[in-house]
Amino acid sequence: MRRHLLSLSLLFTPVVALAAPKNIIYMIGDGMGPAYLSAYRYYSDDISTKTVENTIFDELWQGVASTYPDDDTYVTDSAAGATALATGVKSYNGAISVNRQHIPIGTMMQLAKRLGKANGIVASSQINHATPASFLAHNKSRRNYNEIADMFLDYRINGMPVADLMLGGGTDYFIRNGRDLVSEFKELGFQYTDSWQQLDTLTKTPALALLAETALPAALNSKQDKQLATLTEKALQLLTPAEKGFVLMVEGSQIDWCGHDNDIACAMAEMNDFAKAIAVAKAYVDNHPDTLLVITADHETGGLSLGAAGEYKWLPDVVKQVKATGRSIAKQLKQAGSDQDALALWSDLTSISLNDAEKAELLSTRKQDEDTLRKLSNKLVAKYSFTGWTTGGHTAIDVAVLAYGKDAKNFAGFQDNTQIAKKLIQYIQQTK
């Protein structure tokens, strides 16, 4: 079909020779479609001024990218999207840097390791989730979490794992019945912590921090301020001494999860967490001009629209007042004692005044399962903020490409997601 011919033509499209930055910071907002960037702009707006202020996303925007996988659907999942962003080659949904024949495709971090660069990954998910996994491992299915975690240790280049630094969640996969990967990493010389309070004990690479059993807490629920920014700052601190430079991938993993839940308050909190991490990276580039920062998304999630139900308005102030994710709200409502307690809790967590019919529906749904209650909670927040969603899955919408620092303009205009990776791989190939 024509689209397959197109993917082949992209694969062999020559990339203009570019002067190579020493360091690459590659940031991926999972599920972060262009409407998320618009929403975050209005969500962040200072209403005391007459103008709508630009966000850090607006300041760094260079172009857009297509995201389709190697099939006839046009709609990618995170594994195929990350495979394209890590290797420059498209594959099927669910693939972790393998092709349709399950043959491994080399990743930019594997190349960087062979050439003497340091590699790091930071994620707000478990670190063996689809996006970080696609930079470090190969597997026919993203769901094989234990196999992927094993490969983080077992796949060696120059005698060591591909990643010199891994920060995120995932103790359930790295300390499990039958294998204690953390102990094995320690035997290889990795410093390790599972505590935010002990993050400063990581003083050099190689280093590993697993700060949750699976994913980190959702930003809106977290007691840890600036989760992703804190980890990004630590990663840059530890990678900076690398003589030949480094490649660092930072994923705002849970933007996508909020989109799947159609939870706009959750999504904006994750966008804010990601924006703070980008600010850390941008400041690093300002102080290290031989560094390139590239930011994009693997796909869009949820079919987000700002404005719904035929109304010409979107109300971010409603979103700002929500204090917890829909999942957390549902859990707390289920645990509330009386119906009166539940309604008071709803008011405290959302500041949304429901009409009598909505109150009755909320109380009736409270008797059902937690997931049904979560869906209603998110639906009500969407209704009162005039937020629209078309799906609980992904869409084929193009995503933004942002860049800053050395050669940032080479990412301007339209490109396929594989072209982003090809340019970065060419930089890495010039390592001296």
CA–CA separation, 209 and 307 (whole Å): 41
**45 neighbors 319 (Cβ within 8 angstroms):** no
With tokens 């103008």, the residue in question is 51
State both tokens at 107: 């990743």
Interhelix angle for 264-287 vs 34-44, to 10°? 90
Q: Which of 109, 85, 119 is nearest to 415 (CA)?
A: 85
The answer, yes or no, to whether the previous bond of 104 is cis (omega within 30 of 0) is no
User: Which residues contact residue 157 at a Cβ distance below 8 angstroms, ignoring those fewer than 6 apart?
Assistant: 110, 113, 114
User: Which residues contact residue 195 at a Cβ distance below 8 angstroms, ignoring those fewer than 6 apart?
Assistant: 211
CA–CA separation, 234 and 196 (whole Å): 11
Q: Residues in the chain, how many?
A: 432
State both tokens at 370: 């937690």
**320 neighbors 44 (Cβ within 8 angstroms):** no
CA–CA separation, 336 and 358 (whole Å): 18
Catalytic position from the list 7, 44, 78, 125: 78
CA–CA separation, 174 and 152 (whole Å): 10
- CB burial readout 284-303, b (16+ within 10 A) else e: bbeebeebbbbbbbbbbbbb
78 an active-site residue?
A: yes
Question: Where in the sequence numbering do the catalytic residues fall?
Answer: 78
